Every structure is written in C-alpha cells, then in structure tokens.
Amino acid sequence: MCGITGIFAFNLVGKFNLVNVTAATKALHQRGPDHQDIYHDEFVGLGHRRLSIIDTSAVAHQPMWDETQRYCIVFNGEIFNFQELKNDLERRGVTSFFSHSDTEVLLKLFILEKEKCLNKLNGFFAFCVYDKQEQSLFLARDRFGVKPLLYLLDEDKFIFASEMKSVLAYGIEKEMDYTSLHTYLQLNYIPAPKTIFKNVKKLLPGHFIKVHNRQATVQKYYSIPYPWTANHGQLTLDYEQAKQKFSQLLEVSVQRRLVSDVPLGSFLSGGIDSSIVTGLAAQHKPNLHTFSIGFRDEKFFDETNYANLVAKHFKTEHTVFSLTNNDLYASVHSILDYIDEPFADSSAINVYILSRQTRQQATVALSGDGADELLAGYNKHEAFCSVINRGWKENLVSKLYPFWKILPQSRNNFLGNRIRQLNRFAEGMKLSSRERYWRWAGYAKDNVALNLFSSKSKEQFSYQEFESYKKELLQTIPENESINDILLTDFHLVLPNDMLTKVDWMSMANGLEVRTPFLDVDLVNFVFSLPDDFKINSSLRKRIAQDAFRNFLPTALYNRPKKGFEVPMLKWLRHEMKSLIQDDLLSEKNVRDQAIFDHVEIEKLKRQLFSSNPGDVHARIWGLVVFQWWWKKYFINQ
C-alpha cells in the first residue's frame, strides 16, 4: 500500500522539473510513511511513497526495475494471489526473483503478458509501468476502484498521482469544472471520470491507459458480467446451493487477505458484515485483534455491546475506542485539511478516528465495506424493492405526499426521520426509474442545486453537459428497474466514488491499509449471477449473507435494527460550528466576495438549519462547509 505519482514530459524545454516531482511525492507522505524514492531521466519522473506490508526489506522498495533495466514500476495496492502467480511464472521459466514482494511478481507478469496480466490479478491496485526502450507508460486501476488514480494530459505532459494534492504539486492550472460542482452539490461527492478541475480526470475502475507518442489511450479491461447473456448464463443453483457457494467464496476471500508481514487486525462494528469477516478471519488467524469505536454521547448509534458479543464469540483480542462527541469533533479540522477535492460524506469522521486508533496496534485491517452495495443492505434498496413490488401500502404513501411534505422532517429524532423517509419515498414513487435513483442517491434536486450558483457561476455551467454526464452515470438503469440493476449502478457510482474513496482517504491519512473481502472478484461475479430475491425480499436485506451465516454468528445480531455509521452533524453545525458557518465560511460577505454561490440561497439554507424543520439540510450545509474549506486552502491560502 503506497502513494504513486509521476510525470511524462513530451516537450523537454523547461517542462520537466525535478523539484515538482519531489514535492508531488512528498505530498503523499501520509499514504506511505516508511520510504520515499524517485526515479527520473530526461523524459520521465516517477515518485513512490511506501507503506511496507509484503516483504518489508529494502529490496522491495520502489520505483522497482527489472533485471534488464528496461521496465520500471510504481505500484499502490496488494496482489493477494501473488504467490500463485509467482509459482506459475517459475513454471514458465521466470526464476530470477530478487525479492519476496507482490510488486516484483506484478512487474514480471506485466513484462510477459502486458495488459492481459490484469485478468489474472486478485487484489486492489493502481500502478504504472515505464518502458524505457519504448518511451511509454502503462497505467491501470483495479476492477472496483478500491485504489484511486488521477491523471492529466495536455499538449506537453502526462501527469498521474494517487491524490489530487500530488497532482497540484506539479503547478498545474486550476480551472474549476462547474458540472462537477453542480453534481457535488447534489451527491456530496464527484463521480469519476470527472474531478473538481476541468483538466484532471479519474481513471475509471476496471480501466487502463497507454501513453505513447503524445497520445493517451484509455481502455476497459473488466466489466461485471451482468446483464446475463448467452455467453454469461445466469446460474441455476437453488437458494441452498447458492448459500453454500457464497459462504465458501467469502471464506476464500478472507483467507487471501490475511497475508501480511506486519500486524493485521479487523474492524468490528457489531453489524452483520464486519462480524462475518471477523469470524472467518478468526478461524484462520489465532488471537486476531479486532477494533471498534463506541459513542458515549450517542447511545442510539453505539454498537459496542454487539461488537463485544461477537469478539467474545470468536475469542478475538478486542479493543473498543470509546469516544465522546468532543472526541469526534476534535478530528474535523484534520480531516478537512487532508481532503484535497470536495467530499462531504460525514461518516468519514468515524472512519478517520477508527483508522487512527487502529494504526496504533496494526498496519492492516479487514473491513465489511462493499457488502451493502453487493447484497442490497441500504434503506434505498428496501425502498426500491417496495416500488418494484408496489401494492396498496406503497400507493397510499405516494398519495399522501402533500401531507408528508408539510410535516417537520429531521434526522435528529425517530418521528422526524420517519416522516423524512416517507416524504422521500413518496417523491421517488412519482419519478422515472433513473430520476428515482438519482433523487434517492442525493440530497438536492438538479434545479435546487443550480439555484445555489451565482449568476457568474451559471454562465460557466452547461446544463447539456450535466445531462450527458448524468445519463452516462445512470446508463445501467432501465425503465423498469430490478434490484440487480440498482446494485450494478451502486457499483459504478456510490461504491467507488463515495464509500471506497472515504475508506481509502481516511485510512491512508493514518498510514493504515484496509482490505475488503466482500469485493473479491470471484465473489462479486458470483453474486451478480444470483436473482434479486436471493439478496433482498420484503422482510430481509442482505438475505443470502444473513442466512448463510445464521448458525455462525451470535443470535442477538439478528434481533436488532441496522444502524448507520453516523455523527451528530446537525448538532455540531448548530453549536460548535455555528461561528465558522455564520462568521467565516458561509458569511454573507465571504459568499459575495467569492462569487461562486448565490448569497440569498445560502442564507435560506442557514435559516433552515436553525429551524424546527431542518430535513436533510445538515448534509447540504456540511457539503458547503467542506467546499469552502477546500476553496480557502487551495485558492486563497496558496
């Protein structure tokens, strides 16, 4: 696990600056605290920051060259089946290995098979191979987007990096993309391939880039095999057979992710997903260390009793980090400083703290991330299931939309939150399949987000470009959607751009590697071959996972509601952050001077925040706070 960066200069006159490569590499120091090195010649600069996991010796440092000194690799991630691949290479005559690292195996496999090697990799990765003889670069990102990879191509250079702060260290022009900003104001994140800057892109998951002769060619190498065709027939297993295969594949996935030359543990929230992963890991790793955080001030969200129960059940070495709201809030500024592109999923605060505390005892942690998107575990999946199988109850809720709309809505109490959910459901019932998904994925409608723009910003915004972007993001949803259609869209939109971005940033900010067994390619391919009702029905989400491990987990885990990994954001915005909002970031003067947003619309949001009917406004205000903090850091203070 590491941070990578590099630049390929097409025009040598005054364009290649080693100082920039050094600064870009240093910007990734939190991702790779163990070692830094740089390679450069007259064409290329490659930088690497290392978090040592497999073969921690110096011979596994990067940039890494093959014996011929033709090929050089910088690599971020882990290849879990590297030993199998190494054995296969040795059978094929490749025997001159100088390290025990997965990096060297990846490099030699690429030399032998070029892009075809990607189909053999089981793991997560972003890497670049430089061919010195051919003067070319090859870059690839893993299938589901666990690891990030940004790039910029213009007339005289190609730049890539694991994070935006590293790209910015090359001194690039910072021109904001208003389509990205408009999307961010709805979703609280920016989906690939766009970024907040017009000239910087995110490589999509399952894609690679070839850079040669001033050209960059992007190609896809992996798609989830869905919808099913004659070449990929839907499996004919019955439910009992599917449960057995699911549990077998998940156990193999967990075993693969236990390989480490440094201390390894497991996140344990007390929910079904992390409990399954922990239980399977404990079977193969004695004295497994597990970690959870508890919320002393927010008992509704505290799951430590369940985590303790699971830890006792599987006999793990368990540590609970018991936090107050003040402990949570104390990390907010550190998180805002680390974020280098607007991103406002507030649960990042919890992930940051859990990662920071876990890093004191382990360098690698397993997690249950990806299970909700794979197996239909969210409220919205239950809502889609209700829409698809609608009856008199759903139609009644829809007809009562004018009633729900006028009632007080808030996430801060049970009744207000229930009314909020009924209102969103009734609203979604009236929309087309794609618009329903988009509405339930975000916090603001298209026109509501656009109203936040100042007149100057609206001049920079193209509604046609936004609609084209949105259509591309929602292309996997047909007019009569199924649950599998929704899950596939989650895998393209929510999972890589929100959930995995959050975990990558917050864990790497603390030098911790997080591994996600639910995102093993064999498991994902299998689960997408299963019918909708194997995953969710009218009474049970993540059905196949819950049923497959029912006799494996403590019974108490099945008699409890699902809890979100949330923070008391509404409370903070109204109290601890009130001055920051009113007098600084969202003050009328600051908004007017900045000229990005309409100060009148911002004032409306602020009034709603402090009203008795806040609805989801806290999420929108938090999105604005994150953006303003980012803007101030990268445009005002630089």
Q: Helices (DSSP H) in 359-498: which residue ranges? A: 371-375, 379-388, 392-399, 401-406, 414-429, 433-441, 446-451, 455-460, 463-473, 483-492, 494
Q: What is the pLDDT of residue 408?
A: 66
Backbone angles phi, psi at 510, to 5 degrees: -115, 15
Residue the block writes with tokens 């067994």: 517
Catalytic residue IDs:
2
Q: For tokens 């005559």, what's the residue?
A: 93
Q: Is the backbone peptide bond immediately before 227 cis, with ω within 30 degrees of 0? A: yes
For residue range 11-36, list pLDDT tens digits in order.
Answer: 654 456 788 999 999 999 999 999 99
Residue 533 sits at φ, ψ, to 5 deg, of: -75, -5
Around Cβ 515, how many Cβ atoms within 10 Å?
Answer: 29
Bridge partners for 159 per DSSP = 7, 152
Q: What are the tens digits of pLDDT across the range 439-490?
A: 999 999 999 999 999 999 999 999 999 999 999 999 999 988 999 999 999 9
Pairing mode, strands 157-161 and 150-153:
antiparallel
pLDDT at 43: 87
With 0-12 CB in 10 A as exposed, 13-18 as middle and 19+ as buried, what is 195?
buried
User: Is the full-model pTM beyond 0.85?
Assistant: yes
The pairing of strands 264-267 and 289-295 is parallel
Query: What is the predicted pLDDT for the residue at 230?
Result: 42
In single-letter form, the type of residue at position 581 comes to I
CA–CA distance from 566 to each of 213, 351, 358, 418 (Å)?
49, 10, 19, 16
Question: pLDDT of 594-604, one tens digit each?
Answer: 999 999 999 99
Encoded tokens for 559: 């008699």
Name 635's Cβ contacts closer than 8 Å, sequence gap at least 6: 174
Residue 207: what are its φ and ψ, rounded to 5°?
Answer: -125, 160
| Residue 57: φ, ψ to 5° | -75, 170
SS3 66: coil
Q: How far apart are CA 453 and CA 451, in angstroms?
A: 5
* Strand 264-267 relative to strand 364-366, pairing: parallel
Q: Which two tokens stand for residue 102?
A: 């997965």
What are the C-alpha distances in Å from 408 to residues 403, 414, 423, 439, 608?
A: 11, 12, 10, 20, 11
Match 């445009």 to its residue by tokens: 635
Cα of 209 vs its chain's centroid, Å: 21
Sketch out the chain's domains with CATH numbers: 2-220 (3.60.20.10), 239-374+486-558 (3.40.50.620), 568-638 (no CATH)
Distance separating alpha carbons of residues 629 and 609, to the nearest angstrom: 19
Ranges under pLDDT 70 in the chain: 1, 11-16, 228-235, 300-301, 391-417, 419, 561-566, 638
Residue 566's Cβ-side half-sphere holds a number of Cα atoms within 13 Å equal to: 17
Predicted local confidence at residue 615, as pLDDT? 79
What CA–CA distance (Å, rounded) separates 440 from 208? 31
